[in-house]
């Protein structure tokens, strides 16, 4: 039987190779400086080698296939052997120097692999032309080539191109099978394979060799019958039929369609593919002959990158990762679709950390709290771990591929929303206070807030909060609250608590660095002479939006305090513990980090000085030490945080004034320590581990300044005004200043 090359080429010498089964369209020669520019490929931000250069852009078949993804991952075909059964090769300009294996041979009686017609050289160029800054580069430009010349000597001079005997092809397939080929490319076509050739294909595929055959260029509804072997059991599912699409991803007019062989059919660029002919000239070639080597080279890249994959898995991956075209799914025109190496290199299914069942995906995100602000936890500072996909392929992935910074809080809105309307009831030593944020109509009630965005009419409804205070004897006071913080209760039972009311600038014991929603709280105070001791306890949830978990994590806080008066000076020491279930200082971690929570211990000191005539000074400092629990890749880790404030206040019978400068909670040192799989051996399955750290100290430092002035309106209540400035709010250095003001009117009934 006679086979013919499945491509059409016009080069400098105007020689023509007959397309198998018919014509394939015109082809024009191009200069070495020309660029196709038909496809745009995005490369990583900082690849080790810039593959996206002028030579790459000229290599339109390579660009269209998405090969640069494999290259950027370090896979260029090195050490892989592609057998090309064709008309030989002629390396005029050294495009294949050092990579044409000595095992290359001819089966046409000439003892020479020199290419007379040019077809074999152009096919080899598409697959593996060198990356050398000249002409173009192949899909697997470092692959080794086993050139098996099978054209009938002297047959390439006619207008019908080269002819190939079935015997030569059969012998070449058998030779490739026994001499180490990983993939066989046959850009050939013609009548049906004889049984001897089918038997050779059977031996090759049984040995795990992938065979790629051109579909043909008749524009027929089915591939050329030479490719029918793909559907036979002797092909073992490892024969791919290569169709052609154009630069727009549309099936080429000349390409034979998938037809009834759709499940074995895959297309690649076959219109005007830039390559190199046997004279060293750059040419544009069309035909399914040039789709086949792109697919064959793609298989080589996958086998190099993922040695754990079986040939069957490689073929299945090429099919499943193809870009769908035509009718949805596998169809009779495009078969499985368009070759897409980039997608073939992407993980399949869920990815888990090597050596574990802990899942990690590119969508996993840490959501930081305001105490961590704009901490730079992306890029090289983030631990890189080895993960395995559903096919057991190893990838390197960041354990925090994306970091969400919590939205800067709005303390003005939060303060007004919680303190607008109150009802108090007192009898003897027992009092009850309740607060609601809105009236029945749902509109803000008795408040007016002016900030950077104008008048704030968006105060959200909050549940009713209430507190109960009971004086037991002369020195002991107890309090309980619903939807109230322990700090609120503490202020209610402290007879020396400042009467000023700040809305934005918060003292250290008012917030741990995240927004919480209290469920219930308790407080107590016992006075003994110049001494006083007290306690607070609260439990609630961390009210901080995150896609990582639809349920707000719980927290609990307990604290004790001791006071000592020295005349007009009061010194206060505090100690408290924050227990978080699934968060770290309010930050939500990716599932790979276990979400196991943390414990923070605080020590604080406060000094209050009464300087006469209703004036007082106060300074407050608190230091936190957070210890995370281990889980997933997270080791037990330590984090330090700090907050402080300074107050100047005046309280009189008819007026009050307060000025506060505050440094809200901010991480000052430490981070998350990780134990990561960082290497993986496909052969032995051995996994190497190493330590990494994610630092959580932000670049920004929030600084708040707020003034409060209140005046009593005789017989009517109090009118208070607040104005504040928050610099680098949320501990985010790039954040603009937050400036706002509020006017409040309160009346007692």
Domain termination residue (choose one: 344, 359, 391): 344
161 φ, ψ (degrees, to nearest 5): 75, -165
Say if 636 falls within a structural domain. Answer: yes
Average pLDDT value for the chain: 84
Say if 161 falls within a structural domain. Answer: yes
Domain count, the chain: 2
420 in the same domain as 319 = no
Amino acid 743: pLDDT: 87
Say if 366 falls within a structural domain. Answer: no
The segment with the largest mean pLDDT, out of 44-48, 120-124, 421-425, 548-552, is 120-124
- Between CA 484 and CA 122 the distance in angstroms is 78
Lowest mean pLDDT of 58-62, 143-147, 509-513, 566-570, name the range.
509-513
Which two three-digit tokens encode residue 713?
Answer: 């309106």
Amino acid 275: pLDDT: 97
418 in the same domain as 328 = no
Which two three-digit tokens encode residue 290?
Answer: 């040039």
- Between CA 189 and CA 184 the distance in angstroms is 14
pLDDT of 41 higher than 50:
no
Given a contact cutoff of 8 angstroms between Cβ atoms, the answer to whether 301 and 341 are in contact is yes
464 in the same domain as 574 = yes
Taking CA atoms, 495 is separated from 58, 269, 616, in Å, by: 81, 82, 14
Amino acid 406: pLDDT: 61
415 φ, ψ (degrees, to nearest 5): -70, -45
Domain termination residue (choose one: 327, 344, 361): 344
- Between CA 156 and CA 685 the distance in angstroms is 51
514-519 average pLDDT score: 78
Best CA proximity match to 16, nearest among 159, 190, 152, 150: 159
Amino acid 38: pLDDT: 26
552 in the same domain as 417 = yes
550 in the same domain as 420 = yes
450 in the same domain as 570 = yes
Amino acid 27: pLDDT: 30
420-424 average pLDDT score: 51
Q: What is the dihedral of CA 496, 500, 505, 510, to 10 degrees?
A: 40
Domain termination residue (choose one: 321, 344, 367): 344
- Between CA 385 and CA 392 the distance in angstroms is 15
Best CA proximity match to 623, nearest among 606, 599, 644: 644
Instruction: Report how far Cα 375 is from the mean position of its chain's Cα atoms.
Output: 18
CB-based contacts of 447, cutoff 8 Å, min separation 6:
416, 420, 459, 742, 744
pLDDT of 417 higher than 50:
no
pLDDT of 269 higher than 90:
yes
Lowest mean pLDDT of 104-113, 512-521, 534-543, 631-640, name the range.
512-521
Share of the chain above pLDDT 90, in %: 58
- Please list the active-site residues: 86, 119, 289
pLDDT digits (tens, 9 = 90+) for 298-328: 999 999 999 999 999 999 999 999 999 999 9
- Between CA 282 and CA 276 the distance in angstroms is 5
pLDDT of 430 higher than 70:
no
453 in the same domain as 305 = no
pLDDT of 16 higher than 80:
no
Lowest mean pLDDT of 23-37, 403-417, 605-619, 670-684, name the range.
23-37
pLDDT of 2 higher than 60:
no
703-731 in b/e burial notation, b at 16+ Cβ within 10 A?
bbebbbbbeeeeeeebebebbbbbebbbb
Amino acid 461: pLDDT: 41
Taking CA atoms, 423 is separated from 91, 106, 420, 433, 749, in Å, by: 93, 100, 10, 6, 8
State the CATH number of the domain containing residue 437. Answer: 2.40.160
Helix/strand/coil for 288:
helix
Residue 318: other Cβ atoms inside 10 A: 24
Q: From its phi and psi, is residue 304 left (phi > 0), alpha (psi between -120 and 50) or beta? A: alpha
Cα angle 463, 466, 468 (rounded to 5 degrees) comes to: 165
pLDDT of 604 higher than 50:
yes
CB-based contacts of 106, cutoff 8 Å, min separation 6:
88, 112, 113, 148, 149, 150
Amino acid 426: pLDDT: 57
Given a contact cutoff of 8 angstroms between Cβ atoms, the answer to whether 378 and 364 are in contact is no
Best CA proximity match to 12, nearest among 244, 249, 280: 280
pLDDT digits (tens, 9 = 90+) for 477-505: 998 888 888 888 888 888 887 767 788 88
More confident residue, 363 or 675: 675
Best CA proximity match to 399, nearest among 18, 83, 99, 677: 677
Q: What is the dihedral of CA 405, 411, 413, 416, to 10 degrees?
A: 160
697 in the same domain as 578 = yes
Share of the chain above pLDDT 70, in %: 81
Say if 377 falls within a structural domain. Answer: no
More confident residue, 505 or 599: 599
Give the H/E segment covering residue 290.
helix 288-305
Say if 221 falls within a structural domain. Answer: yes
720 in the same domain as 607 = yes
Given a contact cutoff of 8 angstroms between Cβ atoms, the answer to whether 739 and 729 are in contact is no
Amino acid 398: pLDDT: 78
Say if 361 falls within a structural domain. Answer: no
More confident residue, 6 or 38: 6
pLDDT of 22 higher than 80:
no
- Between CA 77 and CA 13 the distance in angstroms is 31
- Between CA 383 and CA 213 the distance in angstroms is 44
Amino acid 483: pLDDT: 80
Amino acid 419: pLDDT: 42
Say if 367 falls within a structural domain. Answer: no
415 in the same domain as 339 = no
pLDDT of 433 higher than 80:
no
pLDDT digits (tens, 9 = 90+) for 667-719: 999 998 888 898 999 989 899 998 888 889 999 999 999 999 999 888 778 88
pLDDT digits (tens, 9 = 90+) for 230-259: 999 999 999 999 999 999 999 999 999 999
pLDDT of 588 higher than 50:
yes
- Between CA 249 and CA 64 the distance in angstroms is 9
Say if 273 falls within a structural domain. Answer: yes
pLDDT of 447 higher than 90:
no
Q: In what order do the strands lie in the sheet with 2-5?
A: 163-165, 2-5, 188-190
683 in the same domain as 546 = yes
More confident residue, 643 or 410: 643
Handedness of CA 233, 238, 243, 245 (dihedral sign): positive
Amino acid 550: pLDDT: 60
Best CA proximity match to 621, nearest among 639, 635, 607: 607
178 in the same domain as 285 = yes
634-664 in b/e burial notation, b at 16+ Cβ within 10 A?
bbebebbbbbbbebbbbeeeeebbbbbebbb
- Between CA 67 and CA 138 the distance in angstroms is 9
282 φ, ψ (degrees, to nearest 5): -80, 135
Amino acid 379: pLDDT: 43
Lowest mean pLDDT of 30-44, 181-195, 440-454, name the range.
30-44
Given a contact cutoff of 8 angstroms between Cβ atoms, the answer to whether 245 and 84 are in contact is no
Cα angle 299, 302, 306 (rounded to 5 degrees) comes to: 145
Helix/strand/coil for 261:
helix
- Between CA 379 and CA 540 the distance in angstroms is 34
State the CATH number of the domain containing residue 209. Answer: 3.40.50.200
- Between CA 652 and CA 538 the distance in angstroms is 33
417-444 average pLDDT score: 51
Query: Strand 430-436 relative to strand 465-472: parallel, antiparallel, unpaired?
Result: antiparallel
**Parent domain of 501:** 411-746
- Between CA 722 and CA 657 the distance in angstroms is 10
């Amino acid at each position: 039987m006679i086979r013919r090359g499945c491509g059409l080429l016009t080069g400098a010498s105007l020689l023509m190779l007959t397309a198998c089964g018919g014509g394939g369209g015109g082809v024009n020669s191009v200069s070495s400086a020309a660029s196709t520019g038909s496809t745009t490929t995005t490369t990583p931000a900082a690849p080790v080698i810039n593959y996206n250069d002028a030579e790459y852009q000229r290599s339109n078949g390579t660009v269209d296939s998405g090969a640069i993804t494999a290259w950027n991952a370090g896979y260029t075909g090195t050490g892989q052997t592609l057998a090309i059964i064709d008309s030989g090769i002629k390396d005029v300009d050294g495009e294949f120097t050092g990579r044409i294996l000595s095992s290359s041979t001819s089966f046409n009686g000439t003892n020479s692999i020199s290419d007379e017609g040019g077809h074999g050289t152009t096919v080899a160029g598409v697959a593996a032309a060198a990356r050398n800054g000249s002409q173009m580069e192949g899909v697997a430009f470092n692959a080794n080539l086993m050139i098996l010349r099978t054209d009938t000597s002297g047959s390439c001079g006619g207008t019908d191109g080269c002819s190939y005997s079935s015997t030569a092809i059969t012998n070449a397939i058998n030779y490739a099978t026994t001499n180490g080929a990983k993939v066989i490319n046959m850009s050939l076509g013609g009548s049906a394979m004889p049984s001897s050739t089918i038997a050779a294909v059977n031996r090759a595929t049984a040995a795990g060799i992938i065979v790629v055959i051109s579909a043909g260029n008749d524009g027929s509804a089915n591939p050329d019958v030479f490719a029918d072997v793909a559907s036979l059991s002797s092909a073992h599912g490892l024969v791919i039929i290569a169709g052609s699409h154009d630069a727009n991803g549309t099936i080429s007019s000349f390409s034979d369609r998938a037809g009834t062989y759709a499940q074995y059919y895959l297309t690649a660029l076959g219109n005007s593919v830039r390559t190199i002919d046997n004279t060293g000239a750059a040419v544009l070639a069309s035909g399914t002959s040039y789709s086949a080597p792109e697919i064959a080279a793609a298989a080589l890249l996958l086998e190099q990158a993922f040695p754990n994959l079986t040939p069957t898995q490689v073929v299945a991956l090429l099919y499943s990762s193809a870009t769908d075209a035509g009718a949805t799914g596998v169809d009779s025109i495009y078969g499985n679709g368009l070759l897409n190496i980039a997608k073939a290199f992407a993980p399949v299914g869920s990815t888990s950390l090597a050596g574990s069942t802990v899942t990690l995906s590119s969508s996993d995100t840490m959501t930081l709290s305001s105490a961590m602000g704009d901490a730079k936890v992306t890029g090289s500072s983030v631990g890189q771990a080895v993960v395995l996909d559903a096919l057991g392929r190893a990838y390197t992935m960041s354990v925090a591929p994306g970091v969400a910074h919590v939205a800067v809080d709005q303390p003005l809105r939060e303060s007004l929303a919680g303190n607008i309307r109150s009802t108090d009831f007192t009898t003897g030593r027992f009092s009850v206070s309740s607060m609601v944020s809105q009236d029945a109509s749902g509109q803000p009630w008795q408040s007016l807030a002016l900030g950077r965005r104008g008048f704030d009419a968006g105060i959200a409804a909050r549940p009713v909060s209430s507190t109960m205070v009971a004086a037991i004897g002369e020195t002991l006071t107890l309090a309980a609250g619903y939807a109230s913080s322990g700090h609120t209760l503490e202020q209610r039972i402290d007879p020396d608590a400042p009467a000023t009311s700040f809305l934005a600038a918060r003292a250290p014991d008012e917030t741990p660095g995240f927004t919480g929603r209290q469920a219930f709280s308790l407080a107590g105070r016992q006075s003994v002479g110049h001494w006083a001791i007290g306690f607070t306890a609260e439990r609630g949830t961390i009210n901080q939006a995150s896609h990582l978990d639809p349920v707000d994590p719980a927290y609990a806080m307990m604290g004790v305090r001791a006071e000592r008066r020295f005349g007009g000076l009061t010194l206060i020491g505090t100690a408290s513990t924050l227990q978080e279930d699934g968060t770290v200082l309010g930050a939500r971690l990716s599932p790979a980090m276990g979400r196991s929570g943390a414990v923070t211990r605080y020590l604080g000191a406060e000094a209050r000085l009464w300087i006469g005539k209703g004036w007082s000074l106060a300074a407050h400092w608190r230091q936190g030490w957070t210890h995370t629990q281990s889980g997933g890749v997270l080791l037990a880790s330590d984090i330090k945080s700090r907050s402080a404030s300074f107050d100047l206040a005046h309280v009189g019978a008819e007026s009050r004034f307060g000025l506060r400068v505050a440094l809200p909670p901010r991480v000052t040192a430490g981070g998350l320590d990780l134990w990561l799989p960082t290497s993986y051996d496909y052969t032995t399955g051995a996994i190497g581990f190493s330590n990494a750290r994610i630092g959580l100290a932000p670049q920004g430092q929030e600084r708040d300044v707020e003034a409060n002035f209140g005046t009593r309106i005789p017989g009517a209540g109090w009118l208070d005004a607040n104005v504040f400035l928050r610099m680098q709010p949320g501990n985010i250095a790039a954040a603009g200043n937050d400036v706002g003001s509020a006017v409040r009117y309160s009346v007692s009934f």
